[in-house]
Structures are given as structure tokens and as C-alpha cells.
Amino acid sequence: MHLFATHFGTYEVAADVDGKPCLKPFRHDPDPAEMGLGYLELADHPERIRAPMVRRSWLESGPLARTGGQRGKEDFVEVSWDQVSTIIADELRRVHSTHGGQAVFGGSYGWASAGRFHHAQSQLKRLLNLVGGFTSSVNTYSYGAAGVLLPHILGVDYKDACDTSPSWSDIADNCELLIGFGGFRLTNAQVEAGGTGSHRAVEWLRRCQERGVRFVVLSPAASDAPTGPNVRHIPIRPNTDTAVMLGMCHTLLAQGLFNESFLRHCTVGFAEFESYLIGEKDGTPKDAAWASKLSGVPEEAITELAGELHDCRSLINVAWSLQRARFGEQPFWSAIALASMAGHVGQRGCGFSFGLTSVNSTGQPVRRLKGPAFEQGKNPVRHYIPVARITELLEKSGGAIDYDGLGLEMPDIRLVWWAGGNPFHHHQDLNRLAEAFRRPDTVIVTENMWTGTARMADIVLPSAFPFERDDLAASSRDNWLVYSRRAMEPPAGILTDHEAYCLIAEKLGCLDAFTEKLGIEEWLARIYEGYRERYPELPDFQAFRLRGFAVLDEGEDAPAPADHFRHFVADPVAHPLKTPSGRIEIASAIGAFGYPDMGDHPTWMPPEEWLGAELAERHPIHLLSPQPAHRLHGQLEYGSVSQKAKLNGYERFTLNAADAASLELKDDQLCELYNDRGRTIAALSIDAGLSPGVAVLPAGGWFRPDGAGVDHGGNPNTLTAITPASHLSQATAPNSCLISIRAWHGSAGGF
Ligand SMILES: Nc1nc2c(c(=O)[nH]1)N[C@H]1C(S)=C(S)[C@@H](COP(=O)(O)OP(=O)(O)OC[C@H]3O[C@@H](n4cnc5c(=O)[nH]c(N)nc54)[C@H](O)[C@@H]3O)O[C@H]1N2
Ligand SMILES: Nc1nc2c(c(=O)[nH]1)N[C@H]1C(S)=C(S)[C@@H](COP(=O)(O)OP(=O)(O)OC[C@H]3O[C@@H](n4cnc5c(=O)[nH]c(N)nc54)[C@H](O)[C@@H]3O)O[C@H]1N2
Ligand SMILES: [Mo]
């Protein structure tokens, strides 16, 4: 079968009536994602990068003239591949020999495309590692706060926020009550990093409902609650989930409804937490009335839910979005404390989980295919940043930052190279990022399209789309392997990242080390054989290629579902967690780092930007920026599915009817969303199910500032702040953002 693998699923490559290649849903996928069906339309889109390009004054005067101030404002000159590979090789040599490898920032965060070989970051990092290395980045935008917190609280085995979840099958069979903080935004489950052959999250959710699992969803958006029976939606003020969870903890404590034996055997630090809950330290009991005032959730709802959490076989799920906020570690830590008090952790389908439906794989009862990728080699440079500190890195050069008990030195960055990511989509406070991006001597970007990031570069390398090359796709959290076969040739003048880097490696004298003298087919076979070594039941490479896919445990009974914490809870001494105490740390030594924004136990701290903040008097709307339903971040922005969801090319945002009326705004009206950091234009859609004082503008609109600095792409990151979740994680926190909204009277599309 001729298949094409993406992060949003697998598609069959067919021919349309004119004989041109087109994509069809994969026959084995019960819930294929619509957004990918038009992917091939992008092949000849006008925004495609068609040749290597160099910014004019950089080309004319070179890196030492420091013309970075012109980045994003000046035109580009087309050059040949021979020219551009010489220019880049010379520039890498110059920076490495004059400043050292740490002066190159190659962290290059981003989702790129599915495919283990053509993985954009791995290709770039392998090249850079061969010529002196680079300053790198750690963690993710997805769950950066959780990724640093959870190893302290649950142990390193649970670093990946997906790994705490019970299986959907166990939830359906055993759980009676599923409380979802942040709800279940089902369009998110269309995505899986690395790809999948089968979208199953929605099916599992339905099965839970059929089996009588009751759902309670706390979210500012009613649309986060699944439709169907047994679902209750409770509106909540953004960023106040910690308060509600603490209010529930207090209720359990006050009513004596907590599992003392579980707390004694399986956790440490409860006494300290208890003292905080009853207000011994600060005079404020964290009771339901207190939590209600902060969150807007009725007091009775908090006490009633707390009782039910204890009385029923219950599971608390927290969406990843909640930790993408100021103090984002707290709702995850609080959920662990609350579930520990309720006492069902370790029982099948119960306890706590993070990110059910945030992506397809969370909770899937499948064996995971862990396999090799294109090796990056060894980086001789030891410097790194937490991924969301890019602005400070470029601004400060030579400064230091706190991170997880360490002090990280920030090297002086002279050269930035980004491939497979779009910081001018994904990072916060883009106007500030743009200034920071103007500091280094040289910026290189490898891209398919003229994204905001490509426009901010000095040197742009055009990259083939994933449907223009062969690859082998698999997610390390899923059980599908797909042979992703080229659907068409790339246009003349456009190379794959690998081909482009071969030209540069040749100029740098490391071509053989870069390719190991293997062709693409040999690389794919080698990667596949790496999988077969671990899973001998997989068919041989030729059979796999011919069929187009392989599935672990195909046709067999589903493997035994994961039973995280089961052995630990049964015997915490024999099966300790990898935490300092061997148990769940309700209080932890991370408090001793002394960070102003991290205590010893789950704690409510009011963010600088939320509806209860002083700033709300000036900017009274809390902006949330969830994942876009119609594309993958900024990818497929120009696909027909994404374009259809817009109004005349403008991104849509939502607001409830009362807020719209008080601002004298109407449905479909173009509005300006603004605060002290920036301005962006989007079209209003009234959403009756949205809480008052909340606006929703999904991420992924392209940053397209006009001459006055007003973004016409509807990118929420023109408004969000770089303030981290905390000094512990230094993670991204876009969901703590206050804004104002007014009608837009400027020109539409005049940019
Ligand atoms: N406000 C706000 N901002 C957010 C979030 C949020 O919730 N709110 N979420 C954050 C999260 S969780 C994430 S993961 C990030 C995602 O941020 P990114 O991962 O940076 O977003 P993508 O648009 O997927 O960027 C990938 C880029 O790689 C390019 N690309 C694809 N294939 C290839 C290839 O083979 N080679 C090369 N060279 N390039 C390729 C694509 O054209 C695309 O521009 O955004 C974060 N930003
Ligand atoms: N279609 C599509 N799917 C995707 C992606 C994509 O780009 N497109 N990106 C993928 C990626 S990289 C990631 S990391 C995951 C992210 O998965 P998540 O982090 O789970 O998803 P989000 O869409 O950011 O947010 C989910 C919901 O949280 C709610 N929410 C936000 N803030 C609060 C709060 O303070 N309290 C409460 N109670 N609720 C709140 C919002 O209403 C929102 O609908 O999604 C993945 N799935
Ligand atoms: Mo993400």
C-alpha cells in the first residue's frame, strides 16, 4: 500500500480524476484527521520557499557588519546551492574557531514532520556535532513544567507526563467517576508525535461513557466537555484549578474522608501539607469557600465532588494546558496530593492521569514501539537552556539563570540555526523575541514555507515536504510503523534537509562521517532492522515496505494494560518509586532550592496575570490559546481546512455573548486583541459556552506584523509573556495572559 505518515495520522496516496496524487483516509483508521487530507495542496503554494536565499545586506557585507537589525525587514537574494553551502560552511568555521561551539544555538525546538530518518532536528544536530557542537535545549513546550516537577514527586520513570495514565480499557472497566480539569479537547487527540495508524482516543472516551463512567469537566470552555450521557460541565476561572483542588483536599480533611493508610504508606510530607491546608502557616484555611471565591466554582460543587472522589472509584485527569501557565507545576502536584488523599491510586483505572486526549497515545492499551532514529552523534558542548528561555539566551549573552536547582550559564550566541520548528509561532512575546533575534551575527533557517521564522533569517534553506521523500514513521508511544512513501518529487531546486546538509558536510570535509556512506534506502533499512532486533515478530524490511505498515500485536488480544503504581501501592517498600523517599512526595525538597515561586508542597499562588490580578483592571480579559483544531501548530496554515475556518483570511477567536455585548462587538467583527506586549487582529465568533472574562484564540496563526507592528495573523503569542511557570522548570506559560479587546477599524489585509 502507498502510504504517507504524518503527526496527525496515516493517509493513503491515490490519484485524483486528473491523475494527480491526492490523499485518502487510511482504511484502518477509525477516526482519520481531516486536516491532513489537503496536505499535498501545499506543494506549489506561493508561500513555499523555492531556492536558497540570503538576506541582502548580510550577503553584501557579511556577518561581521552586524546588519541583524534589518532581519525581518529586508528582501532576500536567491543564490545557488553551491554558493549557499560554501557560505554556511565558512560561517560555521568562523564561529567555531573564533567563539567556540557554545556560540552556536542549535536547540532548534519544533515538531517538524513525522519520519525517523528525515527528522529535521536530528539531521541538523548530527551535522553540527561533527563540526564542533552547539548549545542545546532541554524539555518541551508541551509539558515543560510537569517534566521537571514529576521526577521529584513521582520519580524519573514518570518524567513523561503521559506515563502516569491508567489505560483507557481499565478506566472503562473500573472507573466510576472521571474528573477532568481542562476537559477533553477532542481535536487534540488527532495528533501524535511521530504518527499513528489509528486514532482511538475518541472511541475509548465513548466506550467509557457507555460503560457508565461519569464525567465531570472543570473548564472555562463548555466545549471541553464531551457530548453524550453522564457529563457535567462546571465553569472555572482560568488558572485557579489549584485552588479548587486544594479546596477539595481541605474538604476531605475536614470531613475525615481521606485514606490515612495510603497517605502513611505511600506518601511523605502530608503533615506539612495538612498544616498549610488548615491555614496554620498563613492564617487562611484553604477550604471550599476560599476556593470558590478564587475560582468561581460553587462551594457546594467543590465539597460534593470531593466526597464523590473519595466514595467512588475515581480518576483525576489534568490537561497539559494547565501546566502551560504561571505556577503550572501546582495543578499537577495538587492533583497528585488530592488523588492520594482520596486513596484510589494504584487501583485499576483510578488515581490520577495527565493528558488523556491531549494527544492520541495517552492511556492507549498498546505495547510501545521504542526504536532507533537517525543518530545525532555526540555534542562536545555542555551548555543548554530550558527550551522556553530562548529570548533571555539571545538577549543576555553571558548571563545565568536558575533551573531545577542549578545555575545555568548562558553563552554569547553568535549563530542560530533552526530547522523543523517555528519559534515565531511557538514562543511567547514575539515582538520581544524579534528584537532578541536581531542580536546574533547570523541566523540560518531550514524550512518548507516562508514562516515568521524563515522571514527573520539571514540564510534560508528550502526543504522538501515530507510527502516528497521516503521515510519510516513511528511514535515511541504507539504500536504502528509506517513506510511513508514519496507521493511526488520536490520541485527543482528544493532538497531534503539531508541532501542539503550533505553539500555542507562536503564543504566541511565530513561528508562520509555524516552519511556513513549509506544511501536513504540503506538508512531506512538500518533503522527498521533496529526495530526488528527489539521486536523480532515484525516482518522483514521488504515485506514491510511492500505492505506499507506493520503493527505490533496485530490481530492478537490487546496486551495487558499498564498498571502504573499498582506494585508500588501493594508494597511500597519492595517496589519504591525513584524519589528521595521512595514514595509519592506530597512535600518535597524542591522547596529548599529557595525559588520565590516554588514551595515545599502544592501551594496556591496568584499569577501576575489572571482575572483576580490588579492588571485585570486595565486588561480585563484572560486569553487562552489552546491547540488549533484545524492544523498542527503553524503547519498546514495554508491548507484548505485551516483556511476555511478563518474569516477572509483572519483567524477566529471566541468570547461569550455578554462580554461581546458590553464591548459592543458583534459576531464576525474584526477585533484588535492587545496588551502592553503587542496587538493582533482576529475575527470574533460568539461562544455561549465560554466563561465571562475569557477569550480563546488558538495557537498557530502565522505572525504577520504590518508596518505599525500590528499582527494580522492572529497569533496569540504577540500577547503572551515569557514569564516562566517557575524558576524550577523555566517552562513556557502562555495560558497566563491578560488582554483588552476593541473593534478594529484599520485596514483589513493592509500589510
Ligand atoms: N500561545 C501558545 N503558544 C504555544 C502553545 C500554546 O498552547 N499556546 N503550545 C506550545 C506547544 S505545546 C508546542 S509543541 C509548540 C509547537 O511549536 P512548533 O513545533 O515550532 O510548531 P510547528 O508549526 O509544528 O513547527 C514546525 C515547523 O517545521 C517545519 N517543517 C516540517 N517538516 C520539516 C522538515 O522536514 N524539515 C524542516 N527543515 N522543516 C520542517 C514546518 O514547516 C513548521 O514550520 O508551540 C507552543 N506554543
Ligand atoms: N489538532 C491539533 N491537536 C494537537 C495539536 C495541534 O496543534 N493541533 N498540538 C499537540 C500538542 S504539541 C500538544 S502539547 C497537545 C496539548 O494538549 P493540551 O495541553 O491538553 O491542550 P490545549 O488545547 O492547550 O488545552 C486544552 C484545554 O484546556 C483548557 N484550559 C486552558 N487553561 C485552563 C485553565 O486554567 N483551567 C482549566 N480548567 N482549563 C483550562 C482550554 O479550554 C483548552 O480547551 O495537543 C496536541 N494536539
Ligand atoms: Mo506540544
The answer to whether the CB of 715 is under 6 A from ligand 1 is no
Stated as kind and residue range, the H or E segment containing 13 is: strand 9-15
Give the residue whose CA is nearest to atom 28 of ligand 2: 182
Quick: pLDDT tens for 638-684: 999 999 999 999 999 999 999 999 999 999 999 999 999 999 999 99
> Strand locations in 133-185, DSSP E?
136-138, 177-181
Task: Give the closest ligand to the alpha carbon of residue 699.
Answer: 1
Residue whose cell numbers read 464525567: 215
**CA angle, residues 49, 52, 57, in degrees to nearest 5:** 110
Report the relative pairing of strands 738-743 and 621-624 from DSSP bridges.
antiparallel
The answer to whether the CB of 627 is under 6 A from ligand 2 is yes
Give the residue whose CA is nearest to atom 43 of ligand 2: 626
Task: Give the closest ligand to the alpha carbon of residue 426.
Answer: 1
pTM of the full structure: 0.98
581 sits in the region (left: phi over 0; alpha: psi -120 to 50; else beta) called: alpha
- State residue 751's pLDDT score: 47
What is the rounded CA–CA span in Å between residue 398 and residue 37?
47
Task: Give the closest ligand to the alpha carbon of residue 161.
Answer: 2
Site to substitute for ligand 1 among 123, 635, 636, 736, most atoms within 8 A of C-beta: 635
The answer to whether the CB of 628 is under 6 A from ligand 2 is yes
Q: Which three cell numbers stand for residue 453?
A: 521564522
Give the residue whose CA is nearest to atom 26 of ligand 1: 421
Task: Give the closest ligand to the alpha carbon of residue 107.
Answer: 1
Site to substitute for ligand 1 among 448, 459, 677, most atoms within 8 A of C-beta: 448
Domain chopping of the chain, boundaries: 54-139+371-474+486-515, 149-364+571-585, 614-743
Q: In angstroms, how far is CA 290 from the centroid of its own chain? A: 32
> Strand locations in 355-397, DSSP E?
384-386
Ligand 1 closest atom vs CA 445 = 38
Ligand 2 closest atom vs CA 238 = 35
Give the residue whose CA is nearest to atom 6 of ligand 2: 632
Say which DSSP state 559 is in. Answer: P
Give the residue whose CA is nearest to atom 3 of ligand 2: 188
If we measure between CA atoms, which residue out of 356, 319, 357, 358 comes closest to residue 335? 319
What is the rounded CA–CA span in Å between residue 29 and residue 189?
13
513: helix, strand or coil: helix
What is the rounded CA–CA span in Å between residue 496 and residue 414?
26
What is the rounded CA–CA span in Å between residue 393 and residue 465?
30
Which strands make up the sheet holding 177-181, listed edge to edge? Answer: 231-234, 214-218, 177-181, 314-318, 351-354
If we measure between CA atoms, which residue out of 317, 89, 299, 121 comes closest to residue 225? 317
- State residue 749's pLDDT score: 60
Spans in the chain with pLDDT lower than 50 = 750-751
Q: How far away, in angstroms, is 32 Cα from ligand 3 center?
A: 20
The answer to whether the CB of 295 is under 6 A from ligand 2 is no
The answer to whether the CB of 716 is under 6 A from ligand 1 is yes
The answer to whether the CB of 699 is under 6 A from ligand 1 is yes
The end-to-end CA distance of the chain, in Å, is 45
What phi and psi, each to the nearest 5 degrees, are found at residue 500? -65, -45
Which distant-in-sequence residues (6+ apart) come within 8 Å of 701 by Cβ? 628, 634, 637, 651, 680, 682, 713, 714, 715, 716
What is the rounded CA–CA span in Å between residue 415 and residue 91?
9
Ligand 1 closest atom vs CA 466 = 35
The answer to whether the CB of 735 is under 6 A from ligand 2 is yes
Give the residue whose CA is nearest to atom 47 of ligand 1: 426
Q: Which fold has domain 614-743?
A: Barwin-like endoglucanases (2.40.40)
Q: How far away, in angstroms, is 163 Cα from ligand 2 center?
A: 18
99 sits in the region (left: phi over 0; alpha: psi -120 to 50; else beta) called: alpha
Q: Which CATH number fits domain 149-364+571-585: 3.30.360.10, 1.10.287.3510, 3.40.228.10, 3.40.50.300?
A: 3.40.228.10
The count of residues in the chain is 751
What is the rounded CA–CA span in Å between residue 552 and residue 535?
8
If we measure between CA atoms, which residue out of 724, 72, 74, 142 comes closest to residue 431? 72
Q: Which CATH number fits domain 54-139+371-474+486-515: 3.30.110.40, 3.40.50.410, 3.40.50.740, 1.10.260.40?
A: 3.40.50.740
242 sits in the region (left: phi over 0; alpha: psi -120 to 50; else beta) called: alpha
The answer to whether the CB of 185 is under 6 A from ligand 2 is yes
* Bridge partners for 9 per DSSP: 6
The answer to whether the CB of 112 is under 6 A from ligand 1 is yes
Site to substitute for ligand 2 among 162, 241, 321, most atoms within 8 A of C-beta: 321
What is the number of other CB atoms lying within 10 angstroms of the CB of residue 59?
17
DSSP 641-653: HHHHTSBTTBPEE
What is the rounded CA–CA span in Å between residue 104 and residue 144?
23
Let me know: does 724 contact 732? Beta carbons within 8 Å: yes
The burial class, CB within 10 Å (0-12 / 13-18 / 19+), for 555 is: exposed
- Please report, for residues 23, 67, 154, 277, 488, the alpha-carbon distance to residue 221 in angstroms, rounded to integers and kept in the order given: 33, 46, 30, 28, 42
Q: How far away, in angstroms, is 644 Cα from ligand 2 center?
A: 21
What is the rounded CA–CA span in Å between residue 215 and residue 194?
30
